[in-house]
Amino acid sequence: MAKLKIGDSAPDISLPAIDGSIFTMSSNKGKRIIFTFYRFSTCPFCNIRINKIMKRWDEFPDDTIMVGVFDAEISDLTEKMAKHNPKFTIVADETYQYFLENGVHKSISRVLFAPLRAPITTLQAIFKGYIPLTLSMSKMSTIPVDILIDEEGKIVEAHYCKDTVDHLPIDRLISFAKGE
């Protein structure tokens, strides 16, 4: 499927969340949404990203809607995310359906390039103990996507990451959540 573009409608997503609820995109119309396709539950770069977001969570408005989608089974994801005590919604796309429908791509070379491009982030992930507990090249080769969705349910920004550490800056997420 094609990549999402500015002005496109937000993807119609309904997935199980680690808190036991079901997240549906349509039930959040009228709100700004920060939406990210991550990789797998033990992805070191995904986990360090969530760690960094949680360290700055008090800078986000109280009504922030942020959703992280993982290529994982909900039971595994619930267990692995518990260490973060995330203040935002984490959901599992067990079939990889929504990744495929929204142009998320895979690239082994980009995955291998990330530690060289971001050695400090790589070391932070290692020191935090984030170890990629999968040997699945299919899961490991996914490249994340950050999507900002406005109150009308339209895409404001769709950042298809260059590699596994290339996300929108957290400052950008905060300013978007504040309506700036």
> How would DSSP label each residue in 98-111?
HHHHTT--B-HHHH
pLDDT (average), residues 116-140: 66
Please, are residues 84 and 47 in contact by the beta-carbon 8 Å criterion? yes
Asked whether residue 139 is domain-assigned, the answer is yes
Quick one: pLDDT at residue 62? 95
pLDDT digits (tens, 9 = 90+) for 34-61: 999 999 999 888 999 999 999 999 999 9
Asked whether residue 39 is domain-assigned, the answer is yes
Residue 160 confidence (pLDDT) above 90: yes
Task: Tokens for 94, please give them.
Answer: 């067990």
Band (pLDDT 50/70/90 cuts) for residue 17 is very high
CA of residue 63 relative to chain centroid, distance: 18
Contacts of 178 (CB under 8 A, 6+ apart): 60, 61
Please, are residues 130 and 44 in contact by the beta-carbon 8 Å criterion? yes
pLDDT (average), residues 2-24: 95
Q: What CATH number is given to the structural domain containing 29? A: 3.40.30.10
Band (pLDDT 50/70/90 cuts) for residue 170 is very high
Asked whether residue 1 is domain-assigned, the answer is no
Asked whether residue 8 is domain-assigned, the answer is no
Band (pLDDT 50/70/90 cuts) for residue 123 is low
pLDDT digits (tens, 9 = 90+) for 64-77: 999 999 999 999 99
Query: Mean pLDDT, the chain, as a whole number?
Result: 89
Residue 127 confidence (pLDDT) above 90: no
pLDDT (average), residues 7-15: 95
Print the domain residue range for 161. Answer: 14-177
Band (pLDDT 50/70/90 cuts) for residue 137 is low
Asked whether residue 30 is domain-assigned, the answer is yes
Residue 140 confidence (pLDDT) above 80: no
Asked whether residue 135 is domain-assigned, the answer is yes
Residue 108 confidence (pLDDT) above 80: no
pTM exceeds cut of 0.75? yes
Q: What percent of the chain lies above the pLDDT cut of 70? A: 84
In degrees and rounded to multiples of 5, residue 41 shows phi and psi of -60, -30
Domain total in the chain: 1
pLDDT (average), residues 149-166: 94
Asked whether residue 145 is domain-assigned, the answer is yes
How far is Cα 98 from Cα 73, in angstroms, rounded to an integer?
14
Asked whether residue 103 is domain-assigned, the answer is yes
